[in-house]
Amino acid sequence: MKSSSDFLKEANAVVPKISIQDAITKIDNDDVVFLDVRDSSDVNKTGTIKNALKIPRGLIEFAADDQCPFYNDKLKKEKQIILVCAAGGQAALTGKTLKDMGYNSVFNVGGISDWINSGGPTE
């Protein structure tokens, strides 16, 4: 039987971290999608990364599946996806899900408070 730490360890092994500074340089790149996977109430409290998609982790399988009626057409497999959440755990788990679904260029930038404290653009 797996524990939550087992799932997180597996996710961190396949979803590379990207530094906030490196991610900031990609903020206006059309080939990069920033994705905040927190619940909307958390996003409303802190804001999020400038122009980030807001798709809660619990909906990602539907939003990322181009055969599903809930597919978000901004999630393209050829794009680079940079994930953010509250502390990095949900982003890692979401990243592993995306990798399992055929997304190849997926990165975890960590938590939104680190992004904000580092001067990353927000909305």
What integer pLDDT is reported at residue 70 of this predicted model?
97
> Do 107 and 16 meet the contact criterion of CB atoms below 8 Å apart?
yes
| Global pTM value | 0.96
What integer pLDDT is reported at residue 49 of this predicted model?
98
Q: What's the rounded Cα separation, in Å, for the pair 26 and 74? A: 16
What integer pLDDT is reported at residue 15 of this predicted model?
98
Q: What's the rounded Cα separation, in Å, for the pair 112 and 45? A: 11
Provide Rg for the chain, Cα atoms: 13
φ and ψ at 10, to 5 degrees? -60, -45
> Do 49 and 121 meet the contact criterion of CB atoms below 8 Å apart?
yes
- Confidence label for 40 from pLDDT (cuts 50, 70 and 90): very high
Mean pLDDT of the chain: 97
> Average pLDDT for residues 89-108, to the nearest whole number?
98
